Amino acid sequence: MSLTLRTISREQHLAFIQSLPSASHCQVPAWADVKNEWRSENLGWFDDKTGQIVGAGLVLYRQIPKLKRYLAYLPEGPVINWYAPNLDEWLQPMLAHLKQQGAFTVKMGPPVVIRRWDAPAIKAGIADPDVKRLRDVEATFIEPRAFEVADQLRRMGWQQNEDGGAGFGDVQPRYVYQVPLENRSLDDILKGFNQLWRRNIKKAEKAGVEVVQGGYDDLPAWQKLYEVTAERDHFRPRPLSYFQRMWTSLNAEDPNRMRLYLAVHEGEAVAAATMLIVGGHVWYSYGASANHKREVRPSNAMQWRMLRDAYALGASVYDLRGISDSLDETDHLFGLIQFKVGTGGQAAEYLGEWDFPLNKLLHKALDIYMSRR
């Protein structure tokens, strides 16, 4: 296939995304409005023979202080045929274009899964004292073509940040936890949950926890719970304005792109979560909970409601997003995988994020700055 790359309109970009079974929420045109501190551009790849659009990418540009030079970032993208044997014919024109736009380095995240581990394999790994990381456990599924993609990228000069394996050196998570929904009944999915999860769902129901869908006006209630969670888990929370912008931007593009769920007990919201939808892929995006009333298990009830709603939408996967690959119970990130493995889904490892330094000196300076941060 002979390809041409050019800038496209947001409408063309959205039409292409809508023609696919799914794509990352970070690659829809409206994501540029969410990340409004970055300049953005929509790129399209066209088949010269048919004139049809065959790939698209949302590029975010971040200027470095005092210079008209940019970091160009394609989060979880671009959306192209990653298994094409001529990957360089897709990526070289993109690099040339981004260089022309003033980029000194390019970061992208191929949406390519390399390995998957099912819940029984992970549980066996947790029980084994010699196993410390997911990588130490034999994968349930390996995608051989993903290794070919990685080899092609290295040959082209793309570099990968090796962060010791935890998967949080990337901007987007390298390891995620997903519950497959396709060709399964809701009953099968619930049976896949572990005993503790099923018990907690029943406990929440018995205690009278009600999970409701919220709207824009409920975002302050979300923010309150989110800030409580940030203090408890020692992270810096995003401001309310970020979630308000996320809501208005994403739902202006598609009225069902973002949802808010609240778990209510005795008239009080005690847990909340945001959900994102692109085609058949549904993500649990952000979650929050109060410090009190944890015994009524609002988070389990909320996840079960969100998963059921994803199923009702015809989704093929319910994505619980980032996990660490640590199976060490003393690791502070272990709780992430411990909570999510109870859903009986599977951990997935993506190829991770890759950098192409167009200006090695500036790229090195950025590297040093980021590591100090």
pTM of the model: 0.94
The mean pLDDT of 299-328, rounded to a whole number, is: 97
How far are the Cα atoms of 152, 205, 311 from residue 198, in angstroms, in the given order? Answer: 45, 11, 18
CA proximity to 307, closest of 116, 299, 252: 299
pLDDT per residue as tens digits for the range 20-73: 999 999 999 999 999 999 999 999 999 999 999 999 999 999 998 888 899 999
pLDDT at 167 over 70: no
CA proximity to 64, closest of 353, 370, 355, 356: 370
Q: How confident is the model at residue 170 (pLDDT cuts 50, 70, 90)?
A: low
Answer whether 167's CB lies under 8 Å from 114's CB: no
pLDDT at 163 over 60: no
End-to-end CA distance of the chain: 43
Structural domains of the chain, with CATH: 3-109+353-372 (3.40.630.30), 113-143+163-350 (3.40.630.30)
